[in-house]
């Protein structure tokens, strides 16, 4: 934060502005951190969805093979 007109503010107002600046900095840091986490979670979700799809396909194939084998077993 710039202090172009530093003489126009009281010490109390400077302290309040400094506190506000600190809070804004924390909010921005948290926001950036949460954005990064959100990106990582979205990537993880895509990976898990792909894995789930592959496993579902394998399960379906195994089920089809089992059903085929069961029809070949004599009664």
The tens place of each residue's pLDDT in the chain, 75 residues long, gives 455 555 677 999 999 999 999 999 999 999 999 999 999 999 999 999 999 999 999 999 999 999 999 999 887
**If you write DSSP's letter for every residue of 15-64 in order, what string do you get?**
HHHHHHHHHHHHHHHHHHHHHHHHHHHHHHHHHHHHHHHHHHHHHHHHHH
> How high is the pLDDT of residue 3?
54
* Whole-number pLDDT of residue 75: 77
**pTM (whole model) above 0.85:** no
- pLDDT at residue 62 in the model: 97
pLDDT score recorded for residue 70: 92
* Interatomic CA distance for residues 23 and 3, integer angstroms: 18
For the chain, the domains span 8-72
């Amino acid at each position: 934060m710039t202090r172009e007109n530093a003489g126009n503010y009281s010490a109390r107002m400077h302290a309040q502005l400094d506190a506000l600046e600190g809070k804004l900095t924390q909010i921005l840091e948290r926001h950036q951190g949460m954005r990064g986490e959100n990106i990582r979670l979205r990537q993880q979700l895509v990976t898990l969805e792909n894995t789930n799809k592959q496993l579902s396909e394998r399960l379906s194939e195994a089920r089809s093979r089992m059903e085929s084998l069961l029809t070949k077993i004599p009664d």
